[in-house]
């Protein structure tokens, strides 16, 4: 799977690194970085984004709304799925990268990245092993698992959300007016929900 990334002033660097580290056989074939100082309104976004591109999937980490909207429009015209975390408009627009649901249109990327999924092995109330089935492209899902092997379940359930929020690359100031939660809080919530589900499944398998 070939992925094209658009970022602005390094906005996608941590996610790019995470996809390259945890996304094999996915390939990021091109990274388009826009580092100019931009005006509040861009009347001619085509001056910054060349529409002559192809890809199996586009990841949109552009911060300027005019550029982001233009990119999404181009992708829709080309029939290329585009993931735009925290944005509005067409394509896939999860609140955070780790809020992305599954879709056949997302191919291998959608299997490996999005709403987190864990696989847990228990011995009584201790975690013998924990692995990531699906996680955040920024790598927070994997990074937050350090030092948890051998720990009591309740201890891990308490510590995991804080660990995820520490590693999360989302902007903590981007509060959702409906839920009142920031992307960082949301990331902690979806990860703890995923871990609880994996623990329940492990307990059911041991019965």
Residue 7 has pLDDT above 70, yes or no: yes
pLDDT in tens, 121-176: 999 889 999 999 999 999 999 888 867 888 899 988 888 888 888 888 877 666 66
Cα–Cα distance list, 35 to 6, 10, 11, 14, 198 (Å)? 11, 8, 10, 16, 41
Tally of domains in the chain: 2
Q: Which of 5-9, 29-33, 84-88, 112-116 has the lowest mean pLDDT?
A: 84-88
Residues 143 and 68 in one domain: no
Q: Are residues 88 and 133 in the same domain?
A: no
Q: What is the DSSP letter of 59?
A: E
Structural domain span for residue 56: 2-93
Is 125 in the same domain as 47?
no
pLDDT of res. 131: 92
Residues 69-90: b if buried by 16+ CB within 10 A, e if exposed: bbbbbbbeeeebbbbbbbbeee
DSSP 138: T
Rounded to whole angstroms, the Cα distance separating 110 from 77 reads 21
* Shared-domain flag, residues 202 and 153: yes
Task: Report the SS3 class of residue 132.
Answer: strand
pLDDT score for 157: 87
Query: Which pLDDT score, from 0 to 100, does residue 150 have?
Result: 87
Q: Is residue 137 part of a domain?
A: yes
Question: Is 101 contained in some domain?
Answer: no
102-111 pLDDT, tens digit per residue, is 999 999 999 9
Among 107, 64, 65, residue whose Cα is nearest residue 82? 107
Any idea how long the chain is? 207
CATH number at residue 76: 3.40.50.720
Q: Is residue 158 part of a domain?
A: yes
């Amino acid at each position: 799977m070939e992925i094209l990334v658009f970022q602005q002033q390094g906005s996608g660097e941590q996610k790019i690194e995470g996809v390259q580290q945890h996304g094999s056989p996915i390939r990021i074939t091109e990274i388009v970085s826009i580092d100019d100082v931009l005006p509040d309104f861009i009347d001619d976004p085509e001056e910054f984004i060349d529409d002559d591109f192809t890809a199996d999937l586009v990841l949109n980490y552009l911060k300027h709304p005019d550029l982001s909207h233009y990119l999404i429009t181009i992708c829709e015209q080309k029939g290329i799925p585009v993931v735009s975390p925290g944005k509005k408009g067409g394509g896939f627009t999860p609140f955070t990268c780790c809020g992305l649901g599954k879709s056949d249109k997302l191919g291998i990327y959608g299997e490996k990245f999005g709403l987190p999924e864990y696989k847990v092995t228990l011995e009584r109330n201790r975690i013998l092993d924990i692995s990531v089935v699906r996680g955040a492209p920024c790598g927070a899902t994997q990074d937050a698992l350090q030092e948890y092997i051998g720990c009591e379940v309740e201890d891990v359930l308490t510590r995991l959300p804080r660990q995820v929020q520490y590693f999360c690359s989302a902007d903590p100031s981007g509060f959702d007016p409906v839920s009142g939660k920031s992307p960082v809080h949301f990331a902690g919530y979806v990860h703890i929900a995923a871990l609880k589900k994996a623990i329940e499944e492990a307990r059911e398998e041991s019965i």
